Structure 1
């Protein structure tokens, strides 16, 4: 995948959102870390109706959905405030699916691609390599 200079790369999972700014050329990525966003995970996400029980013991699922929704809202606000022109999203499959449910139309128009893979604990070099392979 080739990303234009200035593209924002969001790397997320159910607990973490990391943002990078591509300062390199289209063929040579140079991902610079951006400030870690402060997110309000008060939005319950679409999984809020799934309560913990013996049938569904995963009590963290709702928290992860809420974090994914908050991550999408942060990206929505960046798009609406013209703080990003192009966006590439990398997230584990579940988080990516939840985030997609919350994208604003304005943000959807700025997404140049996404990758369903958990890379939050990986180095910048690993993230850049994954983007190149996408």
Structure 2
């Protein structure tokens, strides 16, 4: 995947969020940590869609994880609206990515250079860069 130089990368799952920057070249990304924001998940709107008792009991749906995904999207929205983020790649597990998409602002959608639905939050930055380059 092409990742423009100085593009930002959001790596998220239901519990963790890393905000990175590509300091490498377009086909050879080199990721640098910008910050790991401590978010306060307060948007539990996913609960309206996930009121299925069976999913709740089997652990298939965790509203706290979905709220974290919404909080990540809201944080990224603020960065895109303010102009701090103009090019963004999002890497998130499928469930978190799906929840994030529901909350994307149009400014964030315009800044997106791509999305990868893969869980990589526990991986070192050089491995995440390789996953991006190989996608």
Q: TM-score, normalised by structure 1?
A: 0.91
Deviation per residue, 1:4-62 (Å, 9 max, x gap): 11110111100111111111121321100012113120111323553584663138611
Counterparts in 2 of 1:45 and 1:118: CA distance versus 1, 3 Å: farther
Computed over aligned residues only, the root mean square deviation of the Cα atoms, in angstroms, reads: 1.8
Q: Which runs of 5+ in 2 are unaligned?
A: none
2:56–2:62 Cα contact (<8 Å) kept = no
1:79 corresponds to: 80
Query: Would you say how many aligned residue pairs link Structure 1 and Structure 2?
Result: 134
Match of 1:127, SS state, is helix
2:28–2:133 Cα contact (<8 Å) kept = no
Match of 1:3, SS state, is coil
2:116 corresponds to: 115
Match of 2:62, SS state, is helix
- Going by fraction, where is helix more abundant, 1 or 2? 2
2:99 corresponds to: 98
Moved over 4 A (4+): 51-55
Counterparts in 2 of 1:64 and 1:109: CA distance versus 1, 3 Å: same
Q: Which runs of 5+ in 1 are unaligned?
A: none
1:36 corresponds to: 36
